Homo-oligomer: A and B are copies of this chain.
Amino acid sequence: MTYCVGMLLDTGLVFLSDSRTNAGVDHISTFRKTFIFEREDRVLALLTSGNLAATQALVSVLRGRLSDETQPNLYSAANMFEAATVVGETLREVHQRDAAGLAAFNIEFNAALILGGQIKGEPPRLFMIYAAGNFIEATPETTYFQVGESKYGKPIIDRVLKRDTSLEEAAKLALVSMDSTVKSNLSVGLPLDLTCIHTDELKVALHESIDADNPYFAALRNRWSDALRTAFAALPDPDWLKGL
Protein backbone atom coordinates (compact mmCIF):
# COMPACT_ATOMS: atom_id res chain seq x y z
CA MET A 1 0.00 0.00 0.00
CA THR A 2 0.82 3.65 0.05
CA TYR A 3 -0.07 6.84 1.82
CA CYS A 4 0.08 10.13 -0.06
CA VAL A 5 -1.43 13.46 0.88
CA GLY A 6 -1.58 16.74 -1.03
CA MET A 7 -2.70 20.01 0.57
CA LEU A 8 -3.86 23.21 -1.13
CA LEU A 9 -3.38 26.31 1.02
CA ASP A 10 -3.61 30.05 0.63
CA THR A 11 0.16 30.28 0.41
CA GLY A 12 0.95 27.21 -1.67
CA LEU A 13 0.98 23.43 -1.79
CA VAL A 14 2.34 20.67 0.43
CA PHE A 15 2.80 17.04 -0.64
CA LEU A 16 3.96 14.01 1.33
CA SER A 17 4.35 10.43 0.17
CA ASP A 18 5.75 7.25 1.68
CA SER A 19 7.83 4.86 -0.42
CA ARG A 20 6.80 1.35 0.53
CA THR A 21 5.44 -1.02 -2.09
CA ASN A 22 4.43 -4.57 -1.46
CA ALA A 23 3.28 -7.54 -3.44
CA GLY A 24 2.29 -9.60 -0.44
CA VAL A 25 4.01 -9.15 2.91
CA ASP A 26 6.97 -11.18 1.69
CA HIS A 27 7.82 -8.83 -1.12
CA ILE A 28 8.39 -5.35 0.22
CA SER A 29 10.36 -2.74 -1.69
CA THR A 30 11.11 0.94 -1.70
CA PHE A 31 9.96 3.07 -4.62
CA ARG A 32 9.54 6.83 -4.63
CA LYS A 33 5.99 7.97 -5.32
CA THR A 34 6.49 11.72 -5.79
CA PHE A 35 7.40 12.99 -9.26
CA ILE A 36 8.20 16.62 -10.04
CA PHE A 37 7.74 18.33 -13.40
CA GLU A 38 9.32 21.76 -13.32
CA ARG A 39 10.36 24.42 -15.77
CA GLU A 40 10.34 28.22 -15.78
CA ASP A 41 6.58 28.69 -16.26
CA ARG A 42 5.27 25.82 -14.12
CA VAL A 43 5.80 23.39 -11.30
CA LEU A 44 3.79 20.17 -10.95
CA ALA A 45 3.95 17.39 -8.38
CA LEU A 46 2.41 13.99 -9.11
CA LEU A 47 1.91 11.50 -6.27
CA THR A 48 1.03 7.94 -7.16
CA SER A 49 -0.64 4.99 -5.48
CA GLY A 50 -1.89 1.69 -6.86
CA ASN A 51 -0.37 -0.95 -9.06
CA LEU A 52 3.34 -0.05 -9.29
CA ALA A 53 3.72 -1.29 -12.88
CA ALA A 54 0.82 0.96 -13.90
CA THR A 55 2.05 4.08 -12.12
CA GLN A 56 5.65 3.58 -13.32
CA ALA A 57 4.41 3.17 -16.89
CA LEU A 58 2.32 6.31 -16.48
CA VAL A 59 5.27 8.38 -15.27
CA SER A 60 7.56 6.98 -17.99
CA VAL A 61 5.11 7.92 -20.72
CA LEU A 62 4.44 11.35 -19.20
CA ARG A 63 8.18 12.04 -19.03
CA GLY A 64 8.87 10.65 -22.50
CA ARG A 65 6.33 13.02 -24.03
CA LEU A 66 7.58 16.22 -22.40
CA SER A 67 9.53 17.20 -25.49
CA ASP A 68 7.10 15.67 -27.99
CA GLU A 69 5.30 18.61 -29.54
CA THR A 70 2.94 16.44 -31.57
CA GLN A 71 0.70 15.65 -28.61
CA PRO A 72 -0.52 17.29 -25.41
CA ASN A 73 1.96 16.92 -22.55
CA LEU A 74 2.63 18.31 -19.09
CA TYR A 75 4.83 21.10 -20.48
CA SER A 76 2.43 22.10 -23.23
CA ALA A 77 -0.69 22.11 -21.02
CA ALA A 78 -2.01 25.68 -20.84
CA ASN A 79 -3.37 25.25 -17.33
CA MET A 80 -3.67 22.71 -14.52
CA PHE A 81 -7.00 21.40 -15.80
CA GLU A 82 -5.29 20.50 -19.08
CA ALA A 83 -2.40 18.97 -17.15
CA ALA A 84 -4.83 16.78 -15.17
CA THR A 85 -6.46 15.81 -18.45
CA VAL A 86 -3.07 14.79 -19.87
CA VAL A 87 -2.38 12.62 -16.82
CA GLY A 88 -5.88 11.08 -16.92
CA GLU A 89 -5.67 10.33 -20.66
CA THR A 90 -2.21 8.81 -20.27
CA LEU A 91 -3.48 6.64 -17.43
CA ARG A 92 -6.27 5.47 -19.74
CA GLU A 93 -3.65 4.47 -22.32
CA VAL A 94 -1.82 2.42 -19.68
CA HIS A 95 -5.11 0.84 -18.67
CA GLN A 96 -5.89 0.04 -22.30
CA ARG A 97 -2.52 -1.64 -22.66
CA ASP A 98 -2.42 -3.59 -19.37
CA ALA A 99 -5.93 -4.20 -18.02
CA ALA A 100 -6.74 -7.27 -20.10
CA GLY A 101 -3.38 -8.85 -19.29
CA LEU A 102 -3.95 -8.23 -15.59
CA ALA A 103 -7.51 -9.52 -15.76
CA ALA A 104 -6.20 -12.83 -17.13
CA PHE A 105 -4.47 -13.19 -13.76
CA ASN A 106 -7.45 -11.84 -11.77
CA ILE A 107 -5.50 -8.74 -10.86
CA GLU A 108 -7.41 -5.50 -10.76
CA PHE A 109 -5.94 -2.44 -12.46
CA ASN A 110 -5.83 0.14 -9.72
CA ALA A 111 -4.31 3.57 -9.48
CA ALA A 112 -5.11 6.78 -7.66
CA LEU A 113 -3.12 9.94 -8.16
CA ILE A 114 -2.72 13.37 -6.65
CA LEU A 115 -1.66 16.11 -9.03
CA GLY A 116 -0.98 19.61 -7.81
CA GLY A 117 0.96 22.59 -8.93
CA GLN A 118 0.84 25.95 -10.60
CA ILE A 119 1.10 27.04 -14.21
CA LYS A 120 1.84 30.71 -14.88
CA GLY A 121 -1.35 32.70 -15.31
CA GLU A 122 -3.48 30.93 -12.73
CA PRO A 123 -3.31 30.14 -8.99
CA PRO A 124 -2.09 26.78 -7.62
CA ARG A 125 -4.58 23.96 -8.11
CA LEU A 126 -4.93 20.44 -6.71
CA PHE A 127 -6.53 17.38 -8.32
CA MET A 128 -7.25 13.77 -7.45
CA ILE A 129 -7.21 11.46 -10.47
CA TYR A 130 -8.97 8.09 -10.42
CA ALA A 131 -7.99 4.83 -12.11
CA ALA A 132 -10.58 5.54 -14.80
CA GLY A 133 -8.73 8.71 -15.76
CA ASN A 134 -11.44 11.05 -14.50
CA PHE A 135 -10.59 13.53 -11.79
CA ILE A 136 -11.86 15.97 -9.20
CA GLU A 137 -10.41 19.31 -8.17
CA ALA A 138 -10.06 20.82 -4.71
CA THR A 139 -12.44 23.75 -4.17
CA PRO A 140 -12.30 26.33 -1.37
CA GLU A 141 -14.12 23.89 0.94
CA THR A 142 -11.52 21.17 0.30
CA THR A 143 -8.03 21.63 1.66
CA TYR A 144 -6.54 18.24 0.91
CA PHE A 145 -6.68 14.94 -0.97
CA GLN A 146 -5.35 11.60 0.21
CA VAL A 147 -4.70 8.39 -1.72
CA GLY A 148 -3.84 4.93 -0.40
CA GLU A 149 -4.07 4.10 3.30
CA SER A 150 -5.84 7.32 4.12
CA LYS A 151 -7.91 6.50 7.19
CA TYR A 152 -5.36 6.36 10.00
CA GLY A 153 -4.03 9.80 9.25
CA LYS A 154 -7.30 11.52 8.39
CA PRO A 155 -8.68 12.50 11.84
CA ILE A 156 -5.77 14.78 12.75
CA ILE A 157 -5.87 16.56 9.36
CA ASP A 158 -9.64 17.03 9.67
CA ARG A 159 -9.13 18.67 13.03
CA VAL A 160 -6.26 21.01 12.22
CA LEU A 161 -6.00 21.90 8.54
CA LYS A 162 -7.50 25.10 7.18
CA ARG A 163 -6.87 27.03 3.99
CA ASP A 164 -4.91 29.65 5.94
CA THR A 165 -2.64 27.13 7.66
CA SER A 166 0.97 28.06 6.83
CA LEU A 167 3.05 25.77 4.59
CA GLU A 168 5.30 25.08 7.55
CA GLU A 169 2.43 23.98 9.80
CA ALA A 170 0.84 22.00 6.97
CA ALA A 171 4.12 20.18 6.35
CA LYS A 172 4.33 19.26 10.04
CA LEU A 173 0.69 18.16 9.95
CA ALA A 174 1.35 15.93 6.95
CA LEU A 175 4.25 14.35 8.86
CA VAL A 176 2.09 13.76 11.95
CA SER A 177 -0.63 12.24 9.76
CA MET A 178 1.99 10.01 8.12
CA ASP A 179 3.34 9.01 11.52
CA SER A 180 -0.09 7.74 12.62
CA THR A 181 -0.30 5.75 9.40
CA VAL A 182 3.18 4.24 9.57
CA LYS A 183 2.59 3.32 13.23
CA SER A 184 -0.63 1.42 12.52
CA ASN A 185 0.00 -0.06 9.07
CA LEU A 186 3.04 -2.04 8.02
CA SER A 187 2.34 -1.48 4.33
CA VAL A 188 3.28 2.20 4.63
CA GLY A 189 6.93 2.98 5.34
CA LEU A 190 9.90 5.31 5.20
CA PRO A 191 11.64 7.06 3.50
CA LEU A 192 9.18 9.89 2.96
CA ASP A 193 9.20 12.59 0.30
CA LEU A 194 8.06 16.02 1.47
CA THR A 195 7.54 18.67 -1.19
CA CYS A 196 6.49 22.28 -0.61
CA ILE A 197 5.63 24.86 -3.25
CA HIS A 198 5.02 28.56 -2.59
CA THR A 199 2.28 30.31 -4.55
CA ASP A 200 3.69 32.22 -7.56
CA GLU A 201 7.26 30.95 -7.20
CA LEU A 202 6.70 28.31 -9.93
CA LYS A 203 9.37 26.07 -8.42
CA VAL A 204 9.81 23.60 -5.59
CA ALA A 205 10.59 25.56 -2.42
CA LEU A 206 11.53 22.47 -0.42
CA HIS A 207 12.04 18.83 -1.20
CA GLU A 208 13.10 16.81 1.82
CA SER A 209 13.73 13.10 1.81
CA ILE A 210 13.08 11.76 5.31
CA ASP A 211 14.41 8.38 6.31
CA ALA A 212 14.60 6.49 9.60
CA ASP A 213 17.77 8.38 10.56
CA ASN A 214 16.14 11.77 10.20
CA PRO A 215 16.53 13.26 13.70
CA TYR A 216 13.64 15.70 13.29
CA PHE A 217 11.10 13.08 12.25
CA ALA A 218 12.24 10.78 15.07
CA ALA A 219 11.86 13.65 17.55
CA LEU A 220 8.49 14.63 16.07
CA ARG A 221 7.19 11.08 16.49
CA ASN A 222 8.26 10.92 20.11
CA ARG A 223 7.00 14.39 20.94
CA TRP A 224 3.66 13.68 19.30
CA SER A 225 3.22 10.36 21.09
CA ASP A 226 4.04 12.01 24.40
CA ALA A 227 1.77 14.95 23.67
CA LEU A 228 -1.14 12.64 22.79
CA ARG A 229 -0.69 10.64 25.99
CA THR A 230 -0.49 13.83 28.05
CA ALA A 231 -3.56 15.28 26.32
CA PHE A 232 -5.43 12.04 26.87
CA ALA A 233 -4.48 11.89 30.54
CA ALA A 234 -5.83 15.40 31.03
CA LEU A 235 -9.32 14.54 29.75
CA PRO A 236 -12.04 14.86 32.39
CA ASP A 237 -13.89 11.86 33.83
CA PRO A 238 -17.66 11.66 33.53
CA ASP A 239 -19.75 11.21 36.68
CA TRP A 240 -20.93 7.86 35.48
CA LEU A 241 -17.38 6.56 35.17
CA LYS A 242 -16.36 7.77 38.62
CA GLY A 243 -18.00 4.89 40.41
CA LEU A 244 -16.42 2.33 38.11
Contacts and interface: CB of A to CB of B under 8 A. Distances in A.
Given A172-B232, A216-B238, A196 B244 contact: yes
A168 B236 CA distance: 11
A180 interface: yes
Interface stretch (A24-32, A97-105, A117-125, A148-156): A148-156
Contacts of A239: 216
Is the interface on chain A under 10, 10 to 19, 20 to 34, or 35 or more residues?
A: 35 or more
Secondary structure at chain A's binding surface: helix, strand, loop or mixed? helix
B220 A235 contact: yes
Contact of A244 (B181, B206, B227, B234): B206
How many copies of this protein are present in the complex?
Answer: 2
A28 B141 CA distance: 25
A109 B106 CA distance: 21
Given A152-B152, A228-B156, A216 B244 contact: no
Interface of A: 149, 151-156, 158-160, 167-168, 171-173, 176, 180-181, 183-185, 196, 198, 205-206, 208, 216, 219-220, 223-225, 227-232, 234-244
